[in-house]
Structure 1
């Protein structure tokens, strides 16, 4: 992006800035270390069981996965679905609000690829 385009975009964003910062608010919801990877895995393959999510995310402890899933559920981004069976069978799904993140996540994905390629040079 050239400097003039950047400055115009920054000015547009500044003009519509509310009293609170939407970025700060958004990051308070999804900004922990594990929430974005959890959401990303659910975007790629919705309806996952706890253990499968744990394997897909990798490196996350049971405590942090449980805490993150509960917070994402409380914030309305995911839905915990129990089949009511014994042993319990629980799956996690994105809500419509969680699915709205697909475009943002795609932009992060593309930016991450671009950044990675720049560092590989």
Structure 2
């Protein structure tokens, strides 16, 4: 990135900075270790059952998956669909707000590829 572009972006952040920090606020919502991987897996394959999502994310405990899903629901990024069947069938889906993170994920994807390929 050119220094001028960087400085222009930093100037924008300084000029438009509200009383709260948008980055800090965003990280409060999606900043835990597991939330971005959960959102990423739902972007790749929406409508997952709990156990399948757990396998897709990998190495996450039931406690952390449940906690993360509940927090993502509270922040309206994910919704839980209960089919009201016996046995219970519940799937997790991205909301429209959750789907808006595709632009952020795209940037992280490209950045991750770039730094991985340069190593």
TM-score category (smaller protein)? over 0.9
Q: Which residue number in structure 2 is paired with residue 15 of structure 1? A: 15
- Residue of structure 2 equivalent to 1:105: 105
2:62 equivalent in structure 1:
62
1:117 positional shift? 1.1
Q: Determine helix, strand or coil for the equivalent of 1:81.
A: strand
**Structure-1-length-normalised TM-score:** 0.96
Alignment of 1:1-121 (within 5 A): 1-119=1-119
- Structure 2: how far apart are the matches of 1:95 and 1:11? 33
Which has the larger displacement, 43-52 or 5-14? 5-14
Describe the superposition over 1:67-119 as per-residue Cα deviations: whole angstroms up to 9, x where unpaired: 10011001110000000011100000001110110110111111111111122
Q: Aligned-pair distance for 1:14?
A: 1.2
Counterpart CA distance in 2 for 1:42 and 1:102 is: 11
Return the alpha-carbon distance in structure 2 between the equivalents of residues 71 and 85 of structure 1: 25
Structure 1: gaps of 5 or more residues: none
Deviation beyond 6 Å, 4+ runs, structure 1: none
State the secondary structure of the residue aligned to 2:13: helix
TM-score normalised by the chain length of structure 2: 0.97
Between Structure 1 and Structure 2, how many residues are aligned? Answer: 119
Query: Any gaps of 5 or more consecutive residues in structure 2?
Result: none
